Each structure stands twice: as structure tokens, then as C-alpha cells.
Structure 1
Amino acid sequence: MQVTTKALTRILSPSSQKLNTDFKSSQSSEIQEFCQIQIEHLLSKFPIQWCRIIYFDPLLESHQTITHCVQDGLFCRKLLIYLNLEEWLVDFYPAFTVNEVNLSHLTSSICYICPIGYRNQKAEYILILAHEPLSPILQQDVKQSAMLLSKHLDIYAECRQQKAEIQLLEHILQRAGHQLRHPLAMISLYAENLYLGLPSGSSQEQAAIIRESIQDLDTNLTELIYCGQKERLRVALHDLRSLVIESIRGLKPLIKQKKLQISYPDSSTFLAIDSLQMKQVFDNLLSNAVHFSPVSGTINCNWQIFQDEILIWISDQGVGLSSDDIKKIFTPFYSRRPGGTGLGLTIAKKIVLDHHGNLWAQNSPLGGAQFFISLPRSTAF
């Protein structure tokens, strides 16, 4: 009995889960498309005639199957069911090695497996059927596809973990915000009454400072709670240079104390952004640069417009970042600053991501840390 490619896919694919959101669907489809590209690449190599990839999708929390065939009607249902049951998978082959599987009792084709990894109690692998033995060069090509796929899956899983941590952070911020609202409102009320009840003079001025500080806290709390939520982005055209200068102005006492020099371009560009939220990003990055800079050091802030994006980078002359820092620096609650909450860079990255950009860190070749912000060219004018 012969089967078509569509029927073959139905037989081999596990039952699909119903996705809860469009986000899940789009994220899972990206990894599926990557697997499909790898399969099409391998199928373009003679004598490979059939290919299957099994991988674990952390978003769906299940193993997924991508299968394709050079020509419909090549395999019998008995062979396909046998492959799907994985009764032949009795050996734990080393990852990224091409191994022959004996299926001579079912087909004249030669079967190869190249393991990718082992996640959630099930193997991930590339399975191939070919007309004739694969040459060493072609086997190396299969290994390369497996390594690329493994790296892609690792990045995919890491991104998923970061998104889960950010969701946890959002929940914490929402809860903390609601718990702080009431006492903050009471303090504000008493500060206002105190201000109105005091005679003019230094005491009333101090009460005014308390009142204004509470107002600032309330504003910052509101921005913190709703930071990075796309439906709350208030996007308008803003001058990038002016935004950076505004952030620098707020850090002037610390800059003066450490005798720092901050350089930035004379030219500017306009961005379609939420200025309050993007200012949080610059406030955080420049504050970190000031904190880790040596006395009399220089902080450089630059930007360059390319065809598809605008790239902004901020560098200092501090001790730089360790390998552990680079891995964890955007993780919630990770901080190298004494008394730091470890939330600033996490929030900053989320804001940039919600502007369809990216934020990353590395060490400068000249020493010190560098932070890069990229924004799509479509948001720059």
C-alpha cells in the first residue's frame, strides 16, 4: 500500500496541541520552518529520498515531527508505522554521529540516524532513508545540519526561559504595585496636609520636597508596572540625541563626582518610540556605565543608521563583563551592583523588544563593557 507525503506526515506526527495564543503559534512555526529548511537542504542531496526530524518544543512541551519526501508514494504504511513506533531505536548513539539502522526486513533503502540530543525523556534526531550508502562528505553534511539544529533549539529554549522569567517579573511588578498603591496614597495625603498646615519657611520647603518625591515615586511606579506592555506604548516621533542628553542630565551629580566625560554625536535622528519607556533604557544603561567607570574615565554613546536598522551603543572603560555576566546580565534579579535589584536590565531589554528591537552586551576591544540597542529601520525617520 502506497501513501502520499501528506498521509505520511499524519502518520508520523504526534497529536498536535491546541495553541492557547497566536504568540505560541508564531514562535513554534519559526522552529518548524527552520527544520523544514534543513530537511529541504538534505533532500537536495542525492541519494537521500526521505528525511524526518524529531525535536522537543519547550513552548508546546511536547516532541514535534517534521517529515518530507522527495517523491510521493515511495513507502509502504507498514514501514512508516514501524518508524513512528521507534521500536528500532534500541541504541543510544552519540550525538552528531551518522549511524546505519538495519531495516532490510522492510525496505531496500538504507536508513541512517543522526542524534541531536535527548530532552524530556525522548530522543531528538534526524532520520534519513537513501537509495544507496551516503558518502563521507554527505555524512558530514548531515552532521552539520544536526549541529545547526541543536544550536537553534538551545537558543530557542533559552529564549523561552527568558520569556517565562519576564512573565514572572511582570506578575511580581503588578502585585507589588497594587500593594504599594494604598500606603503611597496615604503618605501623599499626609504630606499634602503637612505642607498646607506649615507656615512658609524651611519646614514647608521640606514638606514640599516630600510631596514632590512621593509624586515622582507614584509616576515611576506606574511606569514600572506598565513598562513594555505593547498595548500601553505611547509611540510618537522623538529626537534620539535629546533623549540621551536628558538621561545624562539626570546623572550629572554622579558624573561630576567621578569627573567623567560623556561623548555623543552632534547629529541625531528621529525615532518612533515611547519616549518615557526608552528613556528608562538609556537611564539604566548610562547609570550602569557611570557606576562601573573609573574616576576620570570616558563614556561613549554613539549611533549609526543602516539600511534596515539603527544601531546605538554605549561603552565604558570599567572592568568589563565576565562570561557569567554576559550569560545572565538580562536575567531577572541578577546584579553586580551593591544594593541592585537586578531588574533594570531585564526591564530595559523588554522595552527594547517591545519596540521590535534588541538589546545585548559584550566586552569592548578597548576594555570595558558595551551595550548595543538595535531598532528596525522602519521605526527611524
Structure 2
Amino acid sequence: MNFYVSEAATERHPGSLKIPHPKMADVISIARKLDPIDRKSFCQLQLQQFIQQLPTQLIQQISALATWLTYWNPLTNHRQSVQYKLPTVADADQVAFLNYLSSEDWWFPALPTLNLSKLLLPSEEHVYICPIQQQETGAEYWLLWVAEPLTPSQQHSVELHAQLMAHSLNLYRECCRQQSKVELLEQVIQKADHQLRNPLALMGLYSTTLEMSLPEGDLRSQASLIREATEEISLCLKEVSSCGQQARLRAEHYDLRTILADAIHHLHPWLAEKHLQIAQSSESVLLYGDFWQLKQVLINLISNAVHFSPVRGTITCQWQVFRHEVLIEVRDQGPGLSEIDLSQIFTPFYSRRPGGTGLGLSISQKIILDHQGRIWAQNLPGGGAGFSFALPRRIEAGIAQSSELPL
């Protein structure tokens, strides 16, 4: 077990305790603007600030002799402990007792999570344990060694603080998980760009040469189609590669209905093959973002819905406009998502579709995050799966590159 002491954790703060309770989207939005190394430092700093500030005033009120939080840090792959307080001057008996507590010989798995329990010790010491979470890598808990037994009110306060600690740890881990996914996806995109760019350039050169050498007629028209398709693929590859670099959004105002119409046109052969209908909102709404990337998100989500929808089914694309954001939903009438699907659906290379690459939804998540939005999946009450994403009505100036932001 690794221990460290922070001055911020033991500093006295007069007045009422103000507990930070950040939103997941806010923390990830800030972290997305940083370089990979800076993002990890940011997540670590956020965690330290949350867990260090939470119990400071409470510790003063309960006359704690020693107290610390032990948790698993996914960045270091080690268990760590934040010491909020230790005896200023410890005699030999206290040192021996602290060593016993840090050894965790007293731990047993049946301790209820987020409930305060008093340890039954042969000595007359008062020690309380509040398990935060049960991890495969080891227990996470908050330990308090106090001079006097805690009152019911104090025990309730400890449990409330423990809930906020659990929230902060989950927030931290989710930020780390999303960052790992994004870094892996960026590597995949850059590798694909490197492997495909030269062959596409040769295809474009040969198709152009072939087109120019053929007389007017069907063969020349077919060569022209090959050249145009190659150019379109090259452009798409360039755009996808740009998705791996957040600062390359070509943001302008677009009507969401126009983006959706373009996506539906692209998928028309597959929709017609299964005789599927698209039910969509009629309300016009302007989005500020990259047209091609947002169209790609809709193509990926609707394509997924097409695959799992029954023949002659209906795919619903609707949106709701709020003051600061737009919520877009794509729903199908398919079999829905399993628990594994819900936990892995945006993980690169995870796919339930035969022959699927498992990158469509990962790329969609990357695009939405770059637009300072959020995306999630869920099962619908009446059956089928729903994919939803929320986009801000306005993107911060640091993201857009080729357009001025509206005032």
C-alpha cells in the first residue's frame, strides 16, 4: 500500500463546507482540449482535488486520530491511499496499531458498501470502515480512527461523504477509460491513413490516365466513375484522418434536416432492400458543426439501425431543441442491446455485425466528443435500441478552425 500526505488534504478551511459535484461531460469536455499527457495529469489532479477537499471539515468535527482513503488508481495500476490525518506525535503503541490498520488484516468482504461499520477489536480503540467499492484489484474504503464513538448524525455524515468519494472515483475512471478509447482510435485512424493513402493515389493516377486514353463512350464513362469514386474515397479518408485531430473541424451553420437527408440518400439502397421507412422530425434546427463529420455520425447510427431492423420496419430519427443544446435520437425496432453491448458498444473493434469493423460507433463517439457533445445507447421500453447524442448550439472558439464563431 502506498501512502502520501498532501498539505491540501490537512489544511483547515473555516466556514461551511462546499462540496464539488462536477458533471461527467464538463470534466471530459475540458480534458478533450488537452494533449494526451496533459489529459492524464488533469484527470489525476481532478481526483486529488475532489477526494482531498471532501472530508476536511468533517474530520475536524469528529476528532479523528487518523483517517485515510484507499483506492485503485487506473493510471498507475496500483492501490494508493490519501492520508487526511495521522497522529502528530505517536507513541510505540499507536505506531503498532497504525501498522495493524494499514496491513488490512481486519478486512473481510462481507462489509456493506457505502455503509459505515465499526470494527470489533480486542483493544478499546474506535475504528470505523466505510467500503467505497469492491474492485477485483482490491478493496476501496475510507478508514476512520476516532477518539470517541461516532454519533448517529456523524455516522450519517460520513456515509454521505463516502457517496461523494465514490462519485469522484467513478468520474475519474470514466475519464481515463474514455481517454484510452480515444487514444486507441486515433492510432487506428492514423494507421489506416498511412496504409491506404498511397494505393488510392495510384488508383487515381491510373484511372485518370485510363480515362484520357479512351475514346468517348461507355468505357470512358466507367473510367470517369472510377476516378470520381477514388477521389471521393481519398477525401473521406482525409476527413476521417482529421477526426483524429480535434482542432480540424470545419464548423459552419447547417440545417439538421439537410444533414439527415444527405445521410438517408447515402443509405437509400440498403433502406430500399429491407423496405424500411424513416420517421423524422419536421422541425428545422440549425447546428453549428462540421457537415461531413455529423453526416458520418448519422450514417453510422442509421446503418446500424438498418442492419438490426426487421423487414418493413421503421427507423425513427427525431430531435428536441433546448436552450443550449440539441438532442438527436435514432431508434430502431430490432432486438435491442445486451448488457455486454451496452458496456462495450463504443469500444474500438467491438461489433455484433458479421464482417463489421467495430469502428463506426467509435468514430461517431470521437466526432461527437470533438463537437463538445455526448453520445450514449440504451434499450427502448417497447423494444429495440436507441442511440442518442446531444450537441451544443454553439461550439467554443478553440475548436473551430475555418469559421468565425457567431456572437
Give TM class, smaller chain. 0.7 to 0.9
Structure 1 residue corresponding to 2:374, chosen from 349, 352, 358: 358
Which residue of the partner structure matches residue 149 of structure 2?
A: 133
User: Partners of 2:68 and 2:324 in 1: how far apart?
Assistant: 35
> Does the aligned pair in 1 maintain the 2:190–2:244 contact within 8 Å?
no
> Does the aligned pair in 2 maintain the 1:247–1:279 contact within 8 Å?
yes
Which residue of the partner structure matches residue 34 of structure 1?
A: 50
Which deviates more, 82-91 or 121-130? 82-91
Superposition deviation, residue 178 in structure 1: 1.1
Q: Could you tell me which runs of 5 or more consecutive residues in structure 1 were left unpaired when the two chains were aligned.
A: 11-18
1:203 counterpart = 2:216: no
Which deviates more, 199-208 or 342-351? 199-208
**1:75–1:299 Cα change, 3 Å:** same
Secondary structure of the residue that 1:191 maps to in structure 2?
helix
> Quick one: which amino acid aligns to residue 90 of structure 2?
K
Superposition deviation, residue 292 in structure 1: 1.5
For residues 77-130 of structure 1, the C-alpha deviation after alignment (integer angstroms, 9 at most, x for no partner) is 437x9499744333323353624386979xxx7332334357797753212243
1:252 counterpart = 2:268: yes
Q: Provide the aligned C-alpha RMSD in A.
A: 3.6
Superposition deviation, residue 277 in structure 1: 1.3
1:169 counterpart = 2:181: no
Which residue of the partner structure matches residue 224 of structure 1?
A: 240
**1:7–1:44 Cα change, 3 Å:** closer
Which residue of the partner structure matches residue 107 of structure 2?
A: 92
**1:21–1:132 Cα change, 3 Å:** same
Which residue of the partner structure matches residue 212 of structure 1?
A: 228
**1:237–1:44 Cα change, 3 Å:** farther
User: Partners of 1:63 and 1:100 in 2: how far apart?
Assistant: 22
> Quick one: which amino acid aligns to residue 330 of structure 1?
F
Which deviates more, 124-133 or 239-248? 124-133
Determine which structure has greater relative contact order: mean sequence separation of CA pairs < 8 Å that are 6+ residues apart, divided by chain length: 2
Superposition deviation, residue 204 in structure 1: 0.9
Secondary structure of the residue that 1:236 maps to in structure 2?
strand
**1:280–1:45 Cα change, 3 Å:** farther
Q: Where in structure 2 are the equivalents of 1:95-110 lying within 5 Å?
A: 95=111, 96=113, 98-100=117-119, 110=126
For residues 265-296 of structure 1, the C-alpha deviation after alignment (integer angstroms, 9 at most, x for no partner) is 22122222122211111110111112221122
Which residue of the partner structure matches residue 365 of structure 2?
A: 349
> Does the aligned pair in 2 maintain the 1:51–1:126 contact within 8 Å?
yes
Which deviates more, 44-53 or 340-349? 44-53
> Quick one: which amino acid aligns to residue 107 of structure 2?
F
Secondary structure of the residue that 1:303 maps to in structure 2?
strand
Superposition deviation, residue 302 in structure 1: 1.2
Which residue of the partner structure matches residue 330 of structure 1?
A: 346
Which residue of the partner structure matches residue 258 of structure 2?
A: 242
Given the two structures, how large is their TM-score scaled by the length of structure 1? 0.81
> Does the aligned pair in 2 maintain the 1:335–1:341 contact within 8 Å?
yes
> Quick one: which amino acid aligns to residue 88 of structure 1?
L
> Quick one: which amino acid aligns to residue 368 of structure 2?
V
> Quick one: which amino acid aligns to residue 251 of structure 2?
V
> Does the aligned pair in 2 maintain the 1:352–1:373 contact within 8 Å?
yes
Secondary structure of the residue that 2:288 maps to in structure 1?
strand
Q: Could you tell me which runs of 5 or more consecutive residues in structure 2 were left unpaired when the two chains were aligned.
A: 12-34, 397-405
Secondary structure of the residue that 1:338 maps to in structure 2?
coil
User: Partners of 1:179 and 1:204 in 2: how far apart?
Assistant: 29
User: Partners of 1:276 and 1:377 in 2: how far apart?
Assistant: 17
Which residue of the partner structure matches residue 15 of structure 1?
A: none
> Does the aligned pair in 2 maintain the 1:39–1:51 contact within 8 Å?
no
Secondary structure of the residue that 1:88 maps to in structure 2?
helix
User: Partners of 2:364 and 2:8 in 1: how far apart?
Assistant: 47
> Does the aligned pair in 2 maintain the 1:309–1:377 contact within 8 Å?
yes
Secondary structure of the residue that 2:225 maps to in structure 1?
helix
User: Partners of 1:86 and 1:229 in 2: how far apart?
Assistant: 49
User: Partners of 2:273 and 2:179 in 1: how far apart?
Assistant: 38
User: Partners of 1:336 and 1:202 in 2: how far apart?
Assistant: 40
Which deviates more, 340-349 or 54-63? 54-63
User: Partners of 1:41 and 1:322 in 2: how far apart?
Assistant: 44
For residues 19-78 of structure 1, the C-alpha deviation after alignment (integer angstroms, 9 at most, x for no partner) is 983312321233234324642585487566874323232235455544547xxxx94243
Superposition deviation, residue 161 in structure 1: 3.2
Which residue of the partner structure matches residue 13 of structure 1?
A: none
Q: Where in structure 2 are the equivalents of 1:240-319 lying within 5 Å?
A: 240-319=256-335
> Does the aligned pair in 2 maintain the 1:93–1:115 contact within 8 Å?
no
Superposition deviation, residue 227 in structure 1: 1.2
> Does the aligned pair in 1 maintain the 2:186–2:244 contact within 8 Å?
no
Structure 2 residue corresponding to 1:78, chosen from 85, 90, 101: 90
User: Partners of 1:100 and 1:172 in 2: how far apart?
Assistant: 50
**1:51–1:376 Cα change, 3 Å:** farther
Secondary structure of the residue that 1:21 maps to in structure 2?
helix
> Quick one: which amino acid aligns to residue 6 of structure 1?
E
User: Partners of 2:96 and 2:167 in 1: how far apart?
Assistant: 26
Given the two structures, how large is their TM-score scaled by the length of structure 2? 0.77
Superposition deviation, residue 230 in structure 1: 1.4
User: Partners of 1:276 and 1:205 in 2: how far apart?
Assistant: 27
User: Partners of 1:51 and 1:377 in 2: how far apart?
Assistant: 46
**1:207–1:263 Cα change, 3 Å:** same
